[in-house]
Every structure is written in C-alpha cells, then in structure tokens.
C-alpha cells in the first residue's frame, strides 16, 4: 500500500462535496519534515478560499469533518492558517510494515495504467574514445529503465550507437595512409584509436592554421568594439545611462578576453604540432586531409566497396570495446540499432519531407525551416550527405512502426536539447501520432577545477582506465588493512576483490545518479568511494552491517521472512525508520514523475540515516524481550531488502560483508 496515494483518495472523497476539482486539491499532500506536524500534511484548504468564499481554517474544518481516515490516522489536527496534519497510527504502521516485509514487491503497487516506453540511452560514438558523458547517459538511462520496469511498465531499451559518422571517415583515412599492420594484428583497438587521434590531430592542425586570419580579424573587431564602448561610456553624463554603458564596457572586455584566449589556444595547438617534427611533416604531406576524410565518409555512405569492407572489418572491434564497458557495468539493451541501421531509410525520410512540403532547398542543402527556431534543421547537405537529424527522423518513424510506444525517452547531454526539440516538432508534422516524446538532458561532468572532465588518455580506452581507478580507490578506502582487521572471520583475497569491484563500480554509478540529472557535478573518486556521506559505499556498508546482525542472531533474511514475527513500533527512531520504509513506492513514483533517479538516491540515503539512528537507539540483539528482538530483526531485514532493491534499481550491487 502506498500511504500518500491512499490518503489522497481519502481526501479526494472528502473534498468531493466541497469543490469542483477534488482530485486536484487532494494532490496538495506531502510527507512532513518535522514530526511536530504529524507524518503527512495537506494544505488543500488555502487555495480553496476564493472558490468557497470562506476563511481557510473554516474550510479545513469542513474537510476534516468529512475526512474518513480513522482506520489509519489519529484524529487530524488543524494548524496555522488551515494546514491539516495527519499522524499515522502506530498499530496501522506496524501492520503495514509486517505486510511489506513479506511482500516480494516491498509494498510497491503495480502501475494502474502501464505504458509502453522506448528508452534510448548510452549511444556512444564508436571508433573514438567513449567519453564520460556517455557513461552518464548509460547509467541514468538504465536506472530509468529499471525503475519503469519495477513500476510495471513495458520498457524497450534501444542503444542508438553512433556507428556511421565522420569518425569512420577518419579511421578509413588513417587505415589507408598510416596503418601499422603489426600493431593492428596484435592490438587492433589501440591501433584504431591511434589512427583516429592522429587523423583528428592533423585535421585540427589544418583547421587551426586556416582559421588564424579569421581569428585575428575577430580580435581586431573585438578591440574596436571595446574602444567604441569605452568612448560611449566617457560621453555619458547621466548616472543611469553611465551605469548601463559601464556594463557594455565590461561585456566588451569579456568578449575581447575570450577571443584572445581562443586565438591563444589555436596558436598553442599549431605550435605543438610544429614542435613535433614527424607530425608536422605528416601534416604538410596531407594538406587536403579534412576534405578527403569527408569524401571517405561520403563514399562509405554511398556504398563504396572498399570503404564498406573496411567499415565491416573495424566495426566489430569498436563494438567489442564498448561491450567490455557494458559487461563491467552490467548494462544490457533489448536492441542496439545504431545509426547505420537507418541508412537505407534516409532517402524515404527526404521524400516524405518533400511530399509534406516541409523541406526547402537552401544554398544547395535541403532544410526544414521552423518558425520556433532561428537556425533551420538541415536534413541533407550540399554534398548529398544526410545528417544526425535525418537519422533521428527515420529512427522515430521506425520505433513508432515497430513498437507503437506510448512514450519515447532519449537520454543525452543538454547540448542536444534543441536538436531534439526540432526532431520532435518535425516528427509530429510527419504524423508520428500522439506519442509522448521527451528528451531527458543531463549536465556536464566536471573535474576538480570545474572544467569538463577528461579521462586520462593513453593506449587503453579512457573509460576502462576510469573504472580501474575507481576499483583501486575503493580498495584503498574499504579494504585497508586496519579496517579489515576488525572483520571476523577475515576476508579472503577473493572477497576483497569482489568488494572493491562492487564498491568501485557502484561509486561511479551512484555519483552520476546522486546529482540532479540536469546539474553539472564535480568528479572526485576519493569522495565517491568514501564510507561517510551520501555515497553508495555508505549504503552498501549499512547493508553489510544488517547482514552481520542477522548472522550474529544466527538468522538470515529468508528465515525472518518465513517466520511469523510481527513488526512492533515502540521507540521514535523505530517509528521514523518504518515510515521511511513504507515510502519506497512514493519515492519511485516521484522519481518517475520527471525521470530523476536522484530522488531514489536521496530516499536510500534517508533510509540508511534513519537506520543508523534506529541502530543507535534500539538495541537489537540485546532487546528487552523476545517479541522486541524478533520485531527488530524483522525491521533490520525489511531495511536490508529495501536498500538492496533500491540499489538494484540504480544498477548497484551489494556484498554481504565489507
């Protein structure tokens, strides 16, 4: 049973005779932060003031008179201007908690209106290093998939792998000109990555050199703008206008500074290549590399035999590489239709756009102009190449045709927000029906200094190294000799390795999920694996302590569940913990309202903290009597189950001892 939902029903029934929209008013019910106000508080009386033309306190009195909750609550209290405070009855809580302990779904009801949801996440661009943003998409996406599934929805996960982009033109170019055959035979992935980086560097060099005059001109212009702004400021005498002019000067100064920085970093790039003689010679020997790479990509897309064969040769290596990450993180997908999968359908998309009168030629390219946006959506370039947007339109159509979902969710970083807004608008115009289309953006992962986080480079793929680092950090934090010496019987080496892996991988996922999806966050391995604070290690450790109590009681979760002990409520810490446990379903609902796994993280952290107070205040093994002992063991068991299930929804494991 979901407490909040049940109370809302009761409120709705009580409000039916009072207002024209009882369900709306009944929604204004929240768990309280302070037990002084009871366990739940409704503030539905205040907004009804106008409709009913009465003071809210009086309205609250009428609501309370009609409200039937005496089976679950003490008599409601009216506070302040008209808040209605509800305190749940201890007996009722105890009964619910006992039922929850034995319920495989832990008291979480199955969704009343199950939906079919297509969930698109991860989507790395293979053949180039997978970056930390793709981990974020992977971790957030798979948590949302698990949450939706647990709530009873049908979820179809689809990994829109970037396997058809310009990076293949680069790798093909590299393969044709710079391949080290021996290296490729022994370490194909590392060699492909080297080729990608090399070609990318050379292109970057030429682009930098070519853009120097333009960048210098930009400096001249920014300098002139600044001079104009300064002169305007000097000419102002009126106080208000002067302030405004000063602001313009400050803005112009900033603009000049960032233009300078840009020029400086371009110069540095050029200098770095020039300092590396062999690289510089290579750059001079390949002056047309940027254009040729585009041609190689275009040839691949046109079905050129040689390029297609190369693509088929290298793709499996690239996919194996990302699969390694998925295996380590225990991530799977129902489908992995990459961009290449849609290639044959793109011509059809163009035909549809033209038939619907949506696409217009512009400078040789084909564009969809949307009044909502300044820049059009380009669907075919001058050279005939299709774009990311074209593929996404084909993807939308395919998903609708194949799976007829109620909802399609796409998880990528926030920079793609406008792209998806456009795709969704055009998709609707092409008749994709009343499916809910949502882009779920997330913020940037930053390093300790606040810059976008970069994985350490080298021959291995950055992300594998990152996971290794996390496992090492977990080992240092959790398996240090002083700490583990206290664990009896001693941990075996195998156990220590498992613990480090579970804690290390868990830390990476938890840190990604703990932050509000849309915020940026700073990546700090040390903080992430700490046993204190809002970390997965803290929760995993609480779980292990619960298992240790059960084993000292010579019992196991299963034995407690199979037994007939009832949960009793005595101490306040016991009561607070039990209420938190009964709110699991509410946390899931709330997190699915806007697809925010951090709600579950906060919930689990709260449960672990409530458990810690319970543990301090309520002796378990030394309880006064048998009934209390059994009740407390049952509470420990229920808490352990909630933490394990909650972490599982986030893709995080537990260990019985650590």
| Residue numbers at the binding site for ligand ARG (CB under 6 A) | 120, 123, 125, 160, 162, 392, 395, 410, 412
User: What is the Cα–Cα distance from 402 to 32, expressed in whole angstroms?
Assistant: 45
Alpha helices by DSSP H, listed for 330-416, are 346-355, 388-403
Least distance from ligand ARG to the Cβ atom of residue 392, Å: 5
Given the complex with ligand ARG, which of 414 and 609 has the nearer CB atom?
A: 414
User: What is the Cα–Cα distance from 191 to 178, expressed in whole angstroms?
Assistant: 10
Element (H, E) at 313: helix 305-329
Tokens encoding 617: 């205040």
Given the complex with ligand ARG, which of 430 and 487 has the nearer CB atom?
A: 430
Least distance from ligand ARG to the Cβ atom of residue 548, Å: 43
Q: At 386, is the secondary structure helix, strand, or coil?
A: strand
Given the complex with ligand ARG, which of 410 and 592 has the nearer CB atom?
A: 410
Terminal CA-to-CA distance of the chain, rounded, Å? 33
Given the complex with ligand ARG, which of 315 and 471 has the nearer CB atom?
A: 315
Least distance from ligand ARG to the Cβ atom of residue 395, Å: 5
Tokens encoding 184: 């490729």
Given the complex with ligand ARG, which of 82 and 162 has the nearer CB atom?
A: 162
Least distance from ligand ARG to the Cβ atom of residue 311, Å: 17
Given the complex with ligand ARG, which of 160 and 286 has the nearer CB atom?
A: 160
User: What is the Cα–Cα distance from 496 to 535, expressed in whole angstroms?
Assistant: 19
Least distance from ligand ARG to the Cβ atom of residue 158, Å: 8
Given the complex with ligand ARG, which of 120 and 589 has the nearer CB atom?
A: 120
Is the alpha carbon torsion for 279, 285, 286, 287 positive or negative?
Answer: positive
Please state the φ and ψ torsions of residue 436, each to the nearest 5 degrees.
-80, 125
Least distance from ligand ARG to the Cβ atom of residue 161, Å: 7
Given the complex with ligand ARG, which of 163 and 557 has the nearer CB atom?
A: 163
Least distance from ligand ARG to the Cβ atom of residue 412, Å: 5
* Nearest to 581, CA basis, from 603, 556, 557, 614: 603
Least distance from ligand ARG to the Cβ atom of residue 588, Å: 25
SS3 per residue for 175-230:
HHHHCCHHHHHHCHHHHHHHHHHHHHHHHHHHHHHHHHHHHHHHHHHHHHHHHHHH
For the sheet containing 83-86, what is the strand order?
29-31, 40-42, 83-86, 77-79
In angstroms, the Cα distances linking 356 to 203, 360, 400, 426, 428 are: 39, 11, 19, 11, 12
* Nearest to 173, CA basis, from 206, 131, 134: 206
* Nearest to 381, CA basis, from 288, 297, 310: 297
User: What is the Cα–Cα distance from 645 to 654, expressed in whole angstroms?
Assistant: 10
User: What is the Cα–Cα distance from 494 to 42, expressed in whole angstroms?
Assistant: 52
Least distance from ligand ARG to the Cβ atom of residue 277, Å: 35
Quote the crossing angle between the two packed helices 132-150 and 626-649, to the nearest 10°: 130
Say if CB 256 and CB 222 are below 8 A apart.
yes
Given the complex with ligand ARG, which of 125 and 542 has the nearer CB atom?
A: 125
Given the complex with ligand ARG, which of 410 and 620 has the nearer CB atom?
A: 410
HSE-up (13 A, CA, CB side) for residue 36: 3
Least distance from ligand ARG to the Cβ atom of residue 482, Å: 44
Given the complex with ligand ARG, which of 120 and 321 has the nearer CB atom?
A: 120
Least distance from ligand ARG to the Cβ atom of residue 414, Å: 11
Q: Which residue's C-beta sits nearest to ligand ARG?
A: 123
Given the complex with ligand ARG, which of 206 and 399 has the nearer CB atom?
A: 399
Least distance from ligand ARG to the Cβ atom of residue 471, Å: 26
Please state the φ and ψ torsions of residue 106, each to the nearest 5 degrees.
55, 40
């Amino acid at each position: 049973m979901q407490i909040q939902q049940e109370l809302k029903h009761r409120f709705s029934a009580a409000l039916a005779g009072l207002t024209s929209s009882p369900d709306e008013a009944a929604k204004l019910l929240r768990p309280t932060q302070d037990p002084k106000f009871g366990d739940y508080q409704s503030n539905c009386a205040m907004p009804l003031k106008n409709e009913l033309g009465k003071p809210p306190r009086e309205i609250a009195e009428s609501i309370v008179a009609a409200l039937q909750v005496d089976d679950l609550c003490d008599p409601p209290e009216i506070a302040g201007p008209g808040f209605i405070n509800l305190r749940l009855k201890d007996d009722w809580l105890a009964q619910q908690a006992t039922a929850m302990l034995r319920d495989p779904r832990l008291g979480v009801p199955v969704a009343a209106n199950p939906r079919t949801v297509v969930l698109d996440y991860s989507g790395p661009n293979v053949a180039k290093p997978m970056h930390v943003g793709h981990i974020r998409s992977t971790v957030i996406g798979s948590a949302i998939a698990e949450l939706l599934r647990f709530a009873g929805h049908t979820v179809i996960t689809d990994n829109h792998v970037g396997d058809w982009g310009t990076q293949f033109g680069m790798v093909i170019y590299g393969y044709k000109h710079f391949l080290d055959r021996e290296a490729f035979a022994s370490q194909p992935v590392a060699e492909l990555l080297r080729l990608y980086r090399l070609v990318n560097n050379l292109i970057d060099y030429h682009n930098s050199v070519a853009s120097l005059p333009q960048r210098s001109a930009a400096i001249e212009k920014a300098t002139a703008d600044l001079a104009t702004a300064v002169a305007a400021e000097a000419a102002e005498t009126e106080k208000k206008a002067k302030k405004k002019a000063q602001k313009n000067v400050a803005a112009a100064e900033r603009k000049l500074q960032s233009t300078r920085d840009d020029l400086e970093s371009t110069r540095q790039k050029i200098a770095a290549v020039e300092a590396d003689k062999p690289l510089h010679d290579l750059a001079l020997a390949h002056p047309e590399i940027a254009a040729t790479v585009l041609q190689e990509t275009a040839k691949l897309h046109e079905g050129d035999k040689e390029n297609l064969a190369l693509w088929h040769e290298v793709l499996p290596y690239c996919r194996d590489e990302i699969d390694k990450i998925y295996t380590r993180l225990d991530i799977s997908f129902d489908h992995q239709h990459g961009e290449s999968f849609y290639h044959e359908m793109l011509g059809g998309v163009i035909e549809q756009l033209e038939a619907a009168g949506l696409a217009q030629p512009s400078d040789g390219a084909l564009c969809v102009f949307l009044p909502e946006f300044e820049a059009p959506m380009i669907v075919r370039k001058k050279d005939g190449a299709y774009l990311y947007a074209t593929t996404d339109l084909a993807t939308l159509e395919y998903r609708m045709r194949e799976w007829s979902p109620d909802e399609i969710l796409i998880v990528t970083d926030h920079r793609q927000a406008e792209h998806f807004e456009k795709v969704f608008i055009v998709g609707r115009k092409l008749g994709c029906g009343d499916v809910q289309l949502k882009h779920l953006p997330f913020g940037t992962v930053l390093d300790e200094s606040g810059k976008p986080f970069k994985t350490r480079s080298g021959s291995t793929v950055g992300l594998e190294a990152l996971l290794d680092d996390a496992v090492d950090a977990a080992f240092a934090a959790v398996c240090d000799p002083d700490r583990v010496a206290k664990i009896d019987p001693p941990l075996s080496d195998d156990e220590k390795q498992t613990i480090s892996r579970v804690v290390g991988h868990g830390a990476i996922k938890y840190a990604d999920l703990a932050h509000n999806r849309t915020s940026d966050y700073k990546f700090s391995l040390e903080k992430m694996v700490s046993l204190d604070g809002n970390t997965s290690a803290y929760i995993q450790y609480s779980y292990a302590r619960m298992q240790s109590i059960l084993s000292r009681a010579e019992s196991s979760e299963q034995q407690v569940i199979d037994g007939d002990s009832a949960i009793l409520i005595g101490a306040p810490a016991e009561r607070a913990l039990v209420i938190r446990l009964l709110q699991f379903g509410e946390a899931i609902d709330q997190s699915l309202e806007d697809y925010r796994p951090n709600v579950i993280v906060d919930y689990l952290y709260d449960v672990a903290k409530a458990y810690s107070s319970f543990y301090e205040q309520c002796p378990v093994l030394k309880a006064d009597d048998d009934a209390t002992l059994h009740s407390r063991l049952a509470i420990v068991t229920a808490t352990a189950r909630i933490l394990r299930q909650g972490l599982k929804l986030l893709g995080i494991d537990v260990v019985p001892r650590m």
